[in-house]
């Protein structure tokens, strides 16, 4: 139960925390590192609001221990924007009204970014399948799919 130093890269910057092993990555990101953009939604790995990218792959921050992130690279939604400019996918979300209450939005953006990065010419149905693990209670998904599809179609991204 002894604390240990854990360091990783968070949104391109080095981060070091001093944590006990039983603390989840979600708790440490939110409470120790101020990364409140990573949301608690269920604690079961079901809802997707705590999604972060671990070495570029989406994971549930609520089902990873902070100590397990040692030496890895983490990206939250705040890591998508570059030099103060919102990411084209974020812009697409704004233009298409893909965010209502906004609580699912960080996780949704990260999973969508990851998927389109891996599947640059994904179809609407591919995107629909890819986002099935991220719950949204406001939009009914239609405008989220509109936004991701527009991002896929935007060759300049």
Partner 1 sequence: MYADPFDYAAAGSWAEAVDLLRQGGEEAKVIAGGQSLIPMMTLRLATPGLLVDVNGADASRIERHDGRIVISAVTRHADLERSPVLATECPMLAEAASLVGNVRVRHRGTIGGTLAHADPAAEIPCAALVLGADITMLGPEGERRVPAAAFFDTYYTTALRTAELVTAVEIPVPPKDAGWSFLELLRRASDFAVVAVGALVTLDEGGRCVEARLAAAGVGERPVDLTEAAQALVGERVEDPAVREAGRLAGAAVEPSAAVHASSGYRRAMLEVFVRRALLQAAERARGAAA
Partner 2 sequence: MTAPVEVTPREELRVVGTSVVGHDFEEKVQGALAYADDWRMPGVLHGKLVRAQLPSARILSIDASDATKLPGVRAVLTAADVPLNEVREEASGLGLQPVSMPVLASDRVRYHGEPVAVVAAEDPAVAERAAELVIVEYEDLPGVFDPEAALEPGAPSVHEDGNGLVTWRFERGDVEAAIARADHVVEGTYRTHHVDHAYMEPEAGLGWIDPNGVLTLRVSTQVIEHVREIARILGLPTTRVRVMGTYMGGGFGGKEDMTVEPYLALLVWKTRRPVRMVWSRQESLLARPKRHPFVMRYRTGVSGAGEILAQDVRIVGDAGAYPLLSPRVLFAGGVTACGPYRAGAARVVAVAAFTNNVPTSAFRGFGAMQVVFGYESQIERIAEAVGLSSKEVRERNFLRQGDPLVTGEEAETHVGAPECMEAALGALGEAVRRPGAGHLRRGVGLACNIQPYGRSRYIGDKAQCWIGLERDGSVTVRAGVTDLGGGQAASLGQIAAEVLGADPSRVAVHIGDTALTPLTGGTFATRQLYMSGNAALKAATELRGRIAPVAAELLDVPVDQLEFAQDQVRIRTNPARFLSLGELARAAEDQGLLPQHLGTFIAEAGEFDPRTGRGKTFPDYTYGCHACEVEVDTETGVVRVIRYVACHDVGRAINPVRVEGQIQGGAVQGIGYALTEDVAIDDGVPRSSLFADYLIPTSMDVPDVQAIVLEIGPGKGPFGARGIGEPPIAPAAAAIANAVADAVGIRITSLPISPERVLDALGRGPAVGDFSG
Dihedral angle over CA of 130, 83, 39, 107, nearest 10? 0
CB 33 within 8 A of CB 15: yes
Residue with tokens 């704004």: 94
Q: Which of 29, 35, 62, 80 binds partner 1 (CB under 8 A)?
A: 62
Q: How far is the CB of 144 from partner 1 (least distance, A)?
A: 15
138 contact choice in partner 2, partner 1, none (CB below 5 to 8 Å, kind-dependent): partner 2
Q: Which of 48, 93, 103, 145 binds partner 1 (CB under 8 A)?
A: 48
Range list of H helices, 68-136: 88-95, 105-118, 124-130
CB 2 within 8 A of CB 18: no
Q: By CB under 8 A, is residue 60 in contact with partner 2?
A: no
Q: Which of residues 9-28 bind partner 1 (CB under 8 A)?
A: 20-24, 27
Q: Which of residues 93-152 bind partner 2 (CB under 8 A)?
A: 93-97, 99-106, 109, 128-129, 131-145
| Strand ranges of the sheet holding 4-10, from the earlier edge strand across to the other edge | 13-19, 4-10, 73-75, 51-54, 57-60
What does the binding site for partner 2 look like in residue numbers (CB under 8 A)?
Answer: 30, 34, 36-37, 39-44, 46-47, 49, 76-78, 81, 86, 90, 93-97, 99-106, 109, 128-129, 131-145
């Amino acid at each position: 139960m002894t604390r240990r130093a854990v360091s990783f890269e968070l949104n391109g910057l080095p981060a070091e925390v001093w944590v006990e092993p039983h603390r989840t990555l979600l708790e440490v990101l939110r409470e120790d590192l101020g990364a409140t953009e990573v949301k608690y939604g269920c604690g079961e790995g079901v809802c997707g609001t705590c999604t972060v990218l671990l070495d570029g792959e989406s994971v549930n921050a609520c089902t990873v221990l902070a100590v397990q992130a040692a030496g890895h690279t983490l990206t939250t939604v705040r890591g998508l924007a570059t030099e103060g400019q919102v990411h084209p996918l974020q812009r697409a979300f704004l233009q298409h009204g893909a965010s209502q209450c906004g609580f699912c939005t960080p996780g949704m953006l990260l999973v969508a970014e990851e998927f389109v990065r891996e599947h640059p010419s994904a179809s609407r149905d591919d995107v629909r399948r890819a986002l099935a693990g991220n719950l949204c209670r406001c939009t009914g998904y239609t405008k989220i799919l509109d936004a991701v599809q527009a991002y896929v179609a935007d060759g300049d991204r």
